Amino acid sequence: MVCPAVRLDQLSVNVDLYERARHNEERIQPNSPALYLSGPTVELDIAIPSRLDAYAEFQQLVLALLVDLDWDGRDLFSVEMALEEGMSNAIRHGNKFDETKQIAVRCELSPERFRVSVQDEGDGFSPNKVSDCTSARNLRLPDGRGLALIKAYMTDVHFNDRGNCVTMEKVRRRNGRRDFGGDAIS
């Protein structure tokens, strides 16, 4: 796995550390295993068991951190949808619900961008071979909807060569325009 393993029961401790750091009560150690702060950027690394009920707490933490970074509305919903689909696809299709396997999730959050990599321990797949769920002949098939949602809601989506890791990025919209840190474009 790419990300160091962190148990979900340790997550609440790290959330407390984050809250204290935010209020200048305590500095987070630079090598904290789950949460890192670098200016306005927050980085999270976690390994999550391959159960659909295992990632909800982590997802809520990510969304709460984004709200704290002034994300809202459409952009926040986009992240929520893509994160949900990415993690559930890794558990369902990648690890095939094998509870001896984990998914590794690495997030980088800032006021302008959200970036996440979700890696499973499965054999991988070819994203180009996934059926187009919007074509008339595939409308009734259950395949491809999660991937289509991810691509629709994220600014950028990439898969590793093996097909067992998806990296998604959302650039925050400001006044109806994407902000890339320089000139805004629509």
CA distance 98 to 100: 5
Q: How confident is the model at residue 33 (pLDDT cuts 50, 70, 90)?
A: very low
Give the pair of three-digit tokens for residue 177. Answer: 């325009």
Residue (of 53, 168, 66) closest to 115 by Cα position: 168
pTM of the full structure: 0.75
Break the chain into its structural domains and give their ranges. 8-178
CA distance 109 to 169: 10
Asked if residue 119 lies in contact with residue 176, where contact means CB atoms within 8 angstroms, the answer is no
Q: What is the DSSP letter of 172?
A: P
What share of the chain in percent tops pLDDT 90? Answer: 46
The CA–CA distances, whole Å, from 137 to 125, 131, 149, 185 equal 22, 10, 19, 36
Give the pair of three-digit tokens for residue 16. Answer: 């407390």
Asked if residue 68 lies in contact with residue 111, where contact means CB atoms within 8 angstroms, the answer is no
What is the tens place of the pLDDT at every residue in 77-105? 999 999 999 999 999 999 999 999 999 99
Q: What is the pLDDT of residue 19?
A: 52
Q: What is the pLDDT of residue 144?
A: 74
Q: For 2-9, what is the mean pLDDT?
A: 39
Which is more confidently placed, 23 or 110?
A: 110
Q: For 17-44, what is the mean pLDDT?
A: 54
CATH of domain 8-178: 3.30.565.10
Q: For 142-157, what is the mean pLDDT?
A: 87
> Is it the case that residue 147 has pLDDT exceeding 80?
yes
140-165: string of b/e by CB count within 10 Å (b at 16+)? Answer: eeeebebbbbbeebbbebebeeebbb
Task: Work out the mean pLDDT of the chain and round it to a whole number.
Answer: 78
